[in-house]
Structure 1
């Protein structure tokens, strides 16, 4: 069995993150706050640490300052170990003067950094997925089968299959063919061997999770071709015919946080009595920046399915099916339903309030009604504001907020005046 020093982890930060706009307006996708106190990038990094893989690169090219700051303030390892988490932003070199053109091109342009390290296997991960996985088990299967490439796959149903790259594997879990986002008519030819439990749920198709293991030399060879820019669309479909490629089936909770709708659902899902994503698992902890915040204080509020982070001051009338992030302030007689409030980066002192000459404080004011909403960091929502998101609202963008698929997203640092109605 390989030890952790045989593995180098490469976390792909993604492109501009337009589908998660406006949350990605001033930050890269991996830096987007999730679950009230974490960042998206904490998920793959925590999975690596829990799998005893402690050499990681995070590749990004857009708005990487806050991501850099988060990683620098969060992941500190012993001086006497080789462990690290480094951010690699797109850079001009003598060999390349262009931005990353895709997932494979990002790895290609950064290869000179990776090759400074000794490793036998490259673990390539996505920075915008929510799941808990022990990569050691995947690596063990990769070595046992003598694979050159392994792809983590998840069984999906026919409706979901048309949105994924679908792989076909034989009884030995060796991948024989691949199709990108197949038409529903083609699906009967693309079923694979799955467990009885998956069959009973109608999940007969193996979707690529965008999690790969490559043998070192093969990765070097594949990256030498400058005409291939993307793993899912080019590298994998071309490589499976010439290189032994293993399907590693994963049956736990996994969701791709690609757009506002899936991001919203994933966060509100944490309020379930038994959430599919378990933040309370002692074996698979999610790590993030250690903040010295006071406890949260709640006065006169009815709470139902509410997740509340540290350092909040809450006087609301009711909070239901909502995630309330760090340092949030919610005023009296306010109702918050189906909402993810990211919280604030700091507390406002009385001096700052006087200096800013604003009557609208950070957080949500009094007598507000907020429903189906994402409130980004450091927003100021005045008293008597009514935000009632839902499918009845058309998509729209203003300087202060965006409406996407009925979800109202209040932009970072936005000020919503008193009495405003959305």
Structure 2
């Protein structure tokens, strides 16, 4: 049964304070974190919706939302005669809700009056910090054809990964009959579900919740009437299992939850693979973002291997390998960058500004000459001097100061940080 897209609205959860992604979230909300050099995390769920012809979207956020608001306002503008929109809903105090969002379900509850102003039969609830490409049409049609009240997108995982997820068990009709949060390994034999032959051959017999849900409107209104339930994954879904008809929609493509620095770094560096698991070069699944009037990138005596270079860069680096370089990046002579993500800059310095900074002994925006940078995340608008040596890796202990943070061996240079000449992190 085909579903009219006007009967579906998408609710994209912007997440909380994003402390696990700190310091990238120190001045921006999690959905606004730059990814793949030229996009923002929020572009992923929005693009999946647009590619699925779902064009009514709400983005719920409350922390550091200014840059996210600007990005969405400057990116997602639609024909004035269409019903398409992407609306930001920030936490707001009202007589009925004097507090900020207390969890994912509480965020939806507080924003319900805005959703109910629109005609819809199904609410598609998404996370704003995941990397994947999915056609939601198939999931919606499965939900409707099964007469389900809730459908949860599930990902087959192996025993090693199962303990990191909420695991769902299904019957022979793909209906979810039980749920357990992060089960210990000894319990796993009782939590196997029916999966495809390919997944079974890979040992992926356990169904993990992806945090992607479809709710019937009537049920969503009913569940949101209870102010005591604050979170979908911890309360709404476990309480509904066994009491509601819940369908499992199995997804077998690439999906990763970008919840911490390690997963964020791995997802970005993974894009440089010869055939990456997340395909940016797909005519049918475009990733949309803000259009920028930037010149082509310019290179001088540079060796580039297995790397993504965004537009508007000025690069004189000696060598860039297995790295992602963001927009407007400036990298000086004889610099070497390996296995790193350089986010780039929000603006260019004029020649006059550069001359003035040099006269005043101030380091220029970008990365200087003769630097070595490995296993690092360089946030936007950093000023890195000449002969700087940054050698990230598992040999480094976790550390934090005003300029940078080390997490899991990854050196994160904070947004706008000034790293002086000859500085060493090793």
Provide the C-alpha distance between the structure 2 equivalents of 1:415 and 1:253, rounded to a whole number of angstroms: 37
1:391 and 2:398 matched: no
1:93 and 2:94 matched: yes
Partner of 2:228: 227
Partner of 1:262: 263
Partner of 2:420: 417
Q: TM (normalized to structure 1)? A: 0.99
Report 1:239-250 matches (<5 A).
239-250=240-251
Aligned counterpart for 1:405 among listed residues 403, 408, 420? 408
Q: Cα 1:207–1:232, aligned 2, differ >3 Å: closer, same or farther?
A: same
SS for the counterpart of 1:271 is: coil
Provide the C-alpha distance between the structure 1 equivalents of 2:146 and 2:243, rounded to a whole number of angstroms: 16
Q: Cα 1:358–1:27, aligned 2, differ >3 Å: closer, same or farther?
A: farther
Report 1:1-150 matches (<5 A).
1-150=2-151
SS for the counterpart of 2:424 is: coil
Give the superposition deviation at 1:303.
1.1
Give the superposition deviation at 1:2.
1.2
Give the superposition deviation at 1:354.
4.7
Give the superposition deviation at 1:350.
2.4
Provide the C-alpha distance between the structure 1 equivalents of 2:41 and 2:213, rounded to a whole number of angstroms: 19
Q: TM (normalized to structure 2)? A: 0.98
Provide the C-alpha distance between the structure 2 equivalents of 1:194 and 1:298, rounded to a whole number of angstroms: 48
Give the length in aligned residue pairs.
422
Provide the C-alpha distance between the structure 1 equivalents of 2:361 and 2:126, rounded to a whole number of angstroms: 44
Provide the C-alpha distance between the structure 2 equivalents of 1:358 and 1:91, rounded to a whole number of angstroms: 46
Report 1:148-297 matches (<5 A).
148-297=149-298
CA RMSD of aligned residues (A): 0.8
SS for the counterpart of 2:110 is: helix
Partner of 2:373: 370
SS for the counterpart of 1:344 is: coil
Provide the C-alpha distance between the structure 2 equivalents of 1:4 and 1:354, rounded to a whole number of angstroms: 55
Q: Cα 1:262–1:196, aligned 2, differ >3 Å: closer, same or farther?
A: same
Partner of 1:320: 321
Aligned counterpart for 1:360 among listed residues 355, 358, 363? 363
1:221-270 per-residue CA deviation (whole Å, 9 max, x = no partner) reads 00000110000010001112111000000000000000000000000000
Provide the C-alpha distance between the structure 2 equivalents of 1:334 and 1:353, rounded to a whole number of angstroms: 19
Provide the C-alpha distance between the structure 2 equivalents of 1:413 and 1:139, rounded to a whole number of angstroms: 43
1:164-204 per-residue CA deviation (whole Å, 9 max, x = no partner) reads 00000111100000001111110000000000000010000
Provide the C-alpha distance between the structure 2 equivalents of 1:94 and 1:115, rounded to a whole number of angstroms: 18
Provide the C-alpha distance between the structure 2 equivalents of 1:342 and 1:302, rounded to a whole number of angstroms: 19
Provide the C-alpha distance between the structure 2 equivalents of 1:397 and 1:380, rounded to a whole number of angstroms: 18
Give the superposition deviation at 1:352.
2.8
Provide the C-alpha distance between the structure 2 equivalents of 1:3 and 1:76, rounded to a whole number of angstroms: 22
SS for the counterpart of 2:352 is: helix
Q: Cα 1:262–1:227, aligned 2, differ >3 Å: closer, same or farther?
A: same
Give the superposition deviation at 1:68.
0.1
